A and B are shown apart, each in its own frame.
Chain A
Amino acid sequence: MNNPESKNRASILLIKNYLLSVLSENISADACKWLEDKIKEIEATSDDLIIYQAFGRIPSITGKAKLNLSNTHLHQAGGIKAGWCPARLHADQAARIVLLLSIAAVNENEFEKKVRTFFDVAEVGEAATLYLGFPVFPQPEKFIDLAVNGVRSNMKILFEAIALQNPYPAAHFDINAWNQMILKAFFIGSPVCKIYGLDKRSNLKLAYMLSDYAHERWAAGRKVNPELWRLVGPFIDEKIIRDIELLFSRGDDLEKEAAALACAMSSYPDTRKILQENKGLYSKTLTQEITWDTVAQKLYSEKQTA
């Protein structure tokens, strides 16, 4: 098993079998059999038409219901790939990923070619599925250009397939691509809390970009998503502290909570002073009555999220 190719192959089969097992609990026995038959057919022939047809027809066979994962499956997912979230997949998406992994199991070069071909001609649902598959594809670094392009999409469904509950960007995006993705999430109102690796990938450059963005919003008389301060908190300095002071003086309740949480993340001395002045909020951050999760909950409780 030292050969990288066979190691990849073992991992491909692990994920493929995992998804097949999840699917067997979510779609009819007939649909499962159809999928397994198609996989055998594809493995046995190299007829592209069969692959295109199977890939295209999957939703009409499997349906599009969101997968229901058993506790065992939920537990296993984290062990397969950190941050990977099969519970967000729908039946057709899981089945399409299985189909692609079957091609990868036979020939990884052919797999990359096919993924690129499918991307080139993808309709929206297919493109979203491919983005969701990236974290479990072999040699995922080969698809960075496609993922970065996905972030540029005007279709929110595509942006969110790559940005939300997907460990791929945190693992593979460079700092510029990462920062653009985060900014865009704020711009288009995606639930930022669902971005994997949010705190780990926060950086000074991003903090300044977000602070500038907040100033633009304020200048236009618009509100700023309070989650923004989560990414600014660790980088509070003599410039950013003024934003925080504004939040405490003019912000609404949720913005004040966010400001307190941001201060709690900071080692900049003035933040201690501010927290002392806002003892009530400060103690709530200590007792975890206020966390970034509670801020997100209040923020998104009314909204439908992906």
Chain B
Amino acid sequence: MKKMKFIDPHVHMVSRTTDDYQAMAEAGIVAVIEPSFWIGQPRTEAGTFKDYFSSLVGWERFRASQFGIRHYCTIGLNSKEANNEALAERVMELLPLYLCKEGVVGLGEVGYDDQTPAEDKYFRLQLELAKKLNIVVQIHTPHRDKKSGTSRSMDVCLEHSLSPENVIVDHNNEETVREVLDKGFWAAFTIYPSTKMGNARMVEIVKQYGPERIMINSAADWGISDPLAVPKTAWLMEQKGISEEAIEKVCYKNALEAFGKSGQMKESDWADGQSIDQRSTFSGNSILRGGMTPKVDPKSSNVIIE
């Protein structure tokens, strides 16, 4: 396989170590998108949301840059925590402060968890905000009652007159993909061990549906997950005879096209490493300089994610 560039359009880097960043950079990941989500346990203050959002546009972006990776994010109130209405109200006030920032490529990840009335209310309010600001939306589809939750998420987007090409529907599987593609939305797949997609299944989906409007991500977070899921799946696709052009679409180009619609993410951001914007380089910034060996070689170990 020739050296390919990858984008992981859904990964929670705040939970990951520098070893991960190093391995990701070595494996060819040039850019990541970190959706805002919950952090494993419920927050009780709007201030912790604010600091979390600030870390996504601040410290985490800086941390990624030290490994030569461009870090973008989506900002939003996640569905789980939308159920704390008193808190949700105050988080809604914070969103406009962050959504227009440089490197914020959209609203996300938002949608349904238990599909409660509160979740519905804040999902809709946020869709209106995204429409007003003309930014893309990254939708988290529920773990439980996934199929109907996915349909409902798309119906609500259409009801609020969002254009499907501005909406990325995430965490798809064999059961949801056809409807998502038929309705004109972007279909994202999360390669996450045990609970979401495995990458051998992913290969079959690309074989069946082709590479148009499909993208894959790791959604790696604080759980047992794999920040190399995108390069590993790319490698597996190559082994299974999928064309290089198709691999590039689902592992790089489609994410760039979809999230690039916000005007906050361009290939030129990383075409020449990080040096394009001299102001964002830091002394001693590249820990990878000097020929360090990667910790994980996606080509040789643990390529199959089940």
Residues of A in contact with B (beta carbons under 8 Å apart): 48-49, 52-53, 55-57, 59-60, 64, 90, 117, 120-128, 154-157, 188-189, 304
Contact B97 A117 (CB under 8 A): yes
Contact B279 A123 (CB under 8 A): no
Neighbouring A residues of B94 by C-beta, 8 Å: 121
Neighbouring B residues of A124 by C-beta, 8 Å: 57-58, 61-62, 280
Is B259 part of the contact surface with A, judged by Cβ < 8 Å?
no
Q: A122-B58, A124-B61 are in contact. Are A60 and B264 (CB under 8 A)?
A: yes
Contact B103 A157 (CB under 8 A): no
Neighbouring A residues of B264 by C-beta, 8 Å: 60
Contact with A along B62-100 (1 / 0, CB 8 A): 100000000000000000000000000000001011111
Q: A123-B103, A124-B62, A125-B102 are in contact. Are A64 and B97 (CB under 8 A)?
A: no
Contact A121 B53 (CB under 8 A): yes
Neighbouring A residues of B293 by C-beta, 8 Å: none
Contact with A along B95-111 (1 / 0, CB 8 A): 01111111110000000
Contact A49 B96 (CB under 8 A): yes
Neighbouring B residues of A157 by C-beta, 8 Å: 279-280, 282
Q: A60-B263, A155-B62 are in contact. Are A121 and B279 (CB under 8 A)?
A: no
CB nearest to B53 among chain A residues = A121
Contact A155 B282 (CB under 8 A): yes
Give A48 to B102 CA distance when docked, in angstroms: 17
Is B54 part of the contact surface with A, judged by Cβ < 8 Å?
yes
CB neighbors of A among B262-290 (8 A): 263-264, 277-283
Say whether chain B's binding surface is mostly helix, strand, loop, or mixed.
Answer: helix
CB-defined A-B contacts under 8 Å, sample of 30: A52-B96, A52-B97, A52-B100, A53-B100, A60-B102, A60-B263, A60-B264, A90-B279, A120-B54, A121-B53, A121-B54, A121-B94, A121-B98, A122-B54, A123-B54, A123-B57, A123-B101, A123-B102, A123-B103, A124-B57, A124-B58, A124-B280, A125-B102, A125-B280, A128-B279, A154-B62, A155-B58, A155-B282, A188-B283, A304-B281
Contact B100 A57 (CB under 8 A): yes
Give A301 to B102 CA distance when docked, in angstroms: 33
Contact A56 B279 (CB under 8 A): no
CB nearest to A125 among chain B residues = B102
CB nearest to B65 among chain A residues = A124
B99 → chain A closest CB, angstroms: 8
Interface centre among A122, A124, A156 (most CB of B within 10 A): A124
Give A154 to B279 CA distance when docked, in angstroms: 15
Neighbouring B residues of A52 by C-beta, 8 Å: 96-97, 100
B77 → chain A closest CB, angstroms: 15
B60 → chain A closest CB, angstroms: 10
Neighbouring B residues of A117 by C-beta, 8 Å: 97
Contact A56 B102 (CB under 8 A): yes
B84 → chain A closest CB, angstroms: 21
B137 → chain A closest CB, angstroms: 17
In-complex Cβ contact of B100 among A56, A122, A155, A189 (8 A): A56
B300 → chain A closest CB, angstroms: 36
Is B50 part of the contact surface with A, judged by Cβ < 8 Å?
yes
B18 → chain A closest CB, angstroms: 14
In-complex Cβ contact of B61 among A64, A121, A123, A188 (8 A): A123
Neighbouring A residues of B279 by C-beta, 8 Å: 64, 90, 125, 128, 157
